Amino acid sequence: MSLFPIFLKLTARPCIVIGAGNLAESKIESLRAADAQVTVIAPHASPAIADLAANGEITWHQREYAAGDISAGTFLVVTATDVPEVNRAVYLEATSKSILCNAVDDPPYCDFYFPSLVRRGDLQIAISTAGQSPALAQRLRKELNAALPLDLGPWLTELGNLRREVLQLEPLNEQRKHLLHDLASREVCGFDACPSRAYARQHALTNPRDGGK
């Protein structure tokens, strides 16, 4: 089975989580980190999930799942109960409505998997074993997390700002492509006199746009 790797925009999209115990906590946090609109259906909730509901950060329907709970407008579903029959019923209802579903710890009933994630600001490295060994994915995440500099996020932000400056100064050509690759290996800082910014501007001066045509 081949998986299609993708980073998905979930901002304001309605997502349903069935279950509100320890299995569900990390999934709910992942959805919230992507600014999804999260609705939880479960008769009981862990203290952390109950607090999110009390603070209005998620919607919690305090009851058992029932057929018909997966509405057509739902973007994706996660089912994380400790009852396999319930998880599979949720999966079947979701897929019957062409809605993506993840049944936690039950790979045959998953349309997608939650990867182990290494994050530094806007940089995200996702690791998946297609459900074969979550433990391996977690180990690799720890190794990558230890290897990457802690300030990589802020540096990436400044690199993105510099990239936008270059796009305004440089015409679309192979030289611009090489410059952007070169800058990705340099230290970029936020102040105006940053050596990398000076380098980019000097490159632009020696390769001016054809403004007279």
Domain of residue 67, CATH code? 3.40.50.720
> pLDDT value at position 209?
60
What is the spatial distance between Cα 93 and Cα 147, in angstroms, rounded to a whole number? 42
Residue 35 has pLDDT above 50, yes or no: yes
Q: Tell whether 66 and 11 lie within a shared domain.
A: yes
Q: How many CB atoms lie within 10 A of CB 74?
A: 19
Total domains present in the chain = 3
Confidence of residue 39 (pLDDT cuts 50, 70, 90): very high
Q: Which residue range is the domain that position 179 belongs to?
A: 152-206
Q: Rounded to 5, what percent of the chain is helix, strand, coil?
A: 40, 15, 45
Does 162 map to a domain? yes
Q: Judge whether residue 11 has pLDDT over 50.
A: yes
Mean pLDDT computed over 80-97: 96
Give me 103's structure tokens. Answer: 């049944």
* Mean pLDDT, rounded, for 115-128: 92
Is the pLDDT at 211 greater than 50, yes or no?
A: no
Record the pTM.
0.78
* Calpha distance 25→70 (Å, rounded): 20
Cα(23)–Cα(49) distance, integer angstroms: 11
- Rounded percentage of the chain residues whose pLDDT exceeds 70: 96
Distance CA 197, CA 124 (A): 25
Q: Model confidence at 29, in pLDDT bands (50, 70, 90)?
A: very high
Give domain status of residue 212, yes or no. Answer: no
Which own/partner pairs from 164-172 qualify as long-range (CB within 8 Å, at least 24 positions apart)? Answer: 165/197, 165/200, 166/200, 166/204, 169/200, 169/201, 169/204, 169/209, 170/203, 170/204, 170/207, 170/209, 171/207, 171/209, 171/210
Mean pLDDT in residue range 181-204 = 83
Is residue 127 located within the same domain as residue 175? no
14 & 76 share domain: yes
